[in-house]
Copies of this chain bind each other. A is one copy, B any other.
Amino acid sequence: MPREKLSDKQQRILAYIREFLEEHGYPPTVRDIQSGCDISSTSVVDYNLRLLQRYGYLRRSPEVSRGIELLAGRERARPLVTVPVLGYIAAGQPVPVPSDESWAGQVTESVELPTSLVGQGERVYGLRVRGLSMIDALIGDGDIVLLRPAAEVRQGDMVVAWLKEEKEATLKRFFREGDRVRLQPANTQMEPIYTKARNLEIQGKVIGVIRLLQ
């Protein structure tokens, strides 16, 4: 769709929509635009909106009041993702796992993070660490661990693992070695854990850690 040169009136309309949105939080009606831009008839507004839509400056939802959406800054569609913090992770306790789809209700808090950090549309969730049990992974009390449900785990991935026998959640790097698994702490001075693969339940893959002080 060719981006043609806009008439003076069309530019005024675009500017007015932008201002109105800024001020009110919702788009103007055809009649708002009419009076705001000193246009004599609603049909003229409709006419120009139609053109602006064809040129790609906005999108209209038919039959919908105020159904105008500006497309100019479209890539800023979802700069922030609200990451739900589902609960706590601590040694000797089961880890909350996002129940399919709606984790409504279990969310105690949430953190907003840019998509540049966690990706877009990913089912990332957070867990707040309680206690010092993860300290060998350089994760302290109060830190937030960012997790992605683990479809596949590759060598060296940092994962939240549930040790069934020990009844303990832990956070380590994952290495499959034959029929056993080596769980390697991030802190190189600490010793790794070895266990059978079937003693392990991978809860999620760690994609980040956030610690906020003060």
Q: Give residues in A with beta carbon < 8 Å to B.
A: 8, 11-12, 15, 22, 24-27, 29, 59, 61, 64-70, 77-80, 104-105, 111-114, 116-117, 132, 135, 138-140, 143, 157-158, 186-189, 205-214
Contact = CB atoms under 8 A, between A and B. Distances in A.
Copies per assembly: 2
Contact of A187 (B11, B135, B157, B214): B135
Contacts of A64: 26
- Most B CB contacts (10 A, CB to CB) among A11, A139, A214 go to A214
A66 B209 contact: no
A105 B8 contact: yes
B24 A69 contact: yes
A77 B29 CA distance: 21
Nearest to A208: B212
Contact of A78 (B11, B22, B138, B207): B22
A59 to B, nearest CB: 8
A26 B68 contact: yes
